[in-house]
Amino acid sequence: MGKKYSLGIIGAGVMAERLINASMNHPDVKIKGLYDRDMDRMLEISRKYWIDGYSSYEELLDDGEIDIIYLAVPPKFHYYYAIDIFKSNKHFLCEKPLANSREEAETMAEFSNGEDIVYAMNFPTIYRSVYKKIKELLDKNALGHILRVEFHGYFREWPRPWQKNPWIVTREQGGFTREVVTHYIQLMQRLFGDIEGIKSFVNYPTDTYRAEKSLLTKANIRDIEVLINCISDIGMKEKLEFNIIGSNGTISLRNWNDLYFSKKDETPKKIELEEIDSLVNLFDNFLRAIEGKEADIIDFKEGCKTHVIIEEILGN
């Protein structure tokens, strides 16, 4: 690509660190610095990776050397920061979910600074090898007529041990539906179209502060059945499974990266795929979009469509 793009980060959590590490493997991305309201955390990360720490997010947005803003704060604050990011006229990469309410998401989706400014979201599945292979099998009609798409999520505990933070357990902005199911809603709609006819049963704990404990949702995409089945705090190891069931074959994506394919009367066989760093691939596509080249990105309108379905599933 040639040009080196400078990136500023708002939010110094787990995803920010992952993005910083991915930037080290991309020749055209440099992290200029970051801001976080937790100054101790910001100093820890800025010193660890030798990047600038900013005293305010406004100072970061005013830095003329920064081309791209990555927003990685808790969902409740996305809209608050997004308004000023839009005004900065910088390219904008947002962590999912897009916002914390349907109204906020729809406002962000409609905002536009013109064709020269790129807004995109980090939904990593489409940047993995598994997505390319799933698309290839569907394009070849290897499954026949698609009858059902389904996602099953079994969580030994929620939040997961590596993901404990003050917000991810909350009913207001956390829970496995917003944090995990959202990835598979985005995947379903990108592959097959809009989800409709949602009938959802959500089980919440008696503590009104905490997020859902289990979820069962039925819906459809035209004549394709949609099933979502999740439960947390159970006696088994975490298991995630996304199935595409056709009249002639079935695709099963297990635990994000393990892809299986089977035809009638066959045992599912694992498809060996080349490992791809999804965040590096995201950078590739985001930069191509900035340069006006063909690129595969999830813009805010697509992100909003996913968010709306999540809110409908949760009954909001």
E strand intervals along 29-98? 29-35, 52-53, 68-71, 91-95
Residues near 169 by beta carbon (within 8 Å), at least 6 away in sequence = 158, 159, 175, 210, 211
Query: Is 194 found in the same domain as 147?
Result: yes
Question: What is the model's pTM?
Answer: 0.94
DSSP string covering 186-234, please? HHHHHHH---EEEEEEEE--SSTTB--SEEEEEEEETTEEEEEEEEES-
Taking only the tens of pLDDT, the chain with its 316 residues reads 568 999 999 999 999 999 999 999 999 999 999 999 999 999 999 999 999 999 999 999 999 999 999 999 999 999 999 999 999 999 999 999 999 999 999 999 998 656 689 999 999 999 999 999 999 999 999 999 999 999 999 999 999 998 888 899 999 999 999 999 999 999 999 999 999 999 999 999 999 999 999 999 999 999 999 999 999 999 999 999 999 999 999 999 999 999 999 998 899 999 999 989 999 999 999 999 999 999 999 999 999 999 999 999 999 7
264 and 146 housed in the same domain: yes
Domain that holds residue 153: 129-275
Number of structural domains (the chain) is 2
Q: Please choose, from the candidates 151, 154, 152, 121, the residue with its C-alpha nearest in 3D space to the C-alpha of residue 306.
A: 121
Amino acid 168 reads: I
Residue with tokens 């598994």: 130
Sign of CA dihedral 14, 15, 16, 21: positive
Query: Is 260 found in the same domain as 147?
Result: yes
Q: How many CA atoms lie within 13 A of 79 on its CB side?
A: 15
Residue 99 forms part of a structural domain: yes
What is the number of other CB atoms lying within 10 angstroms of the CB of residue 243? 16
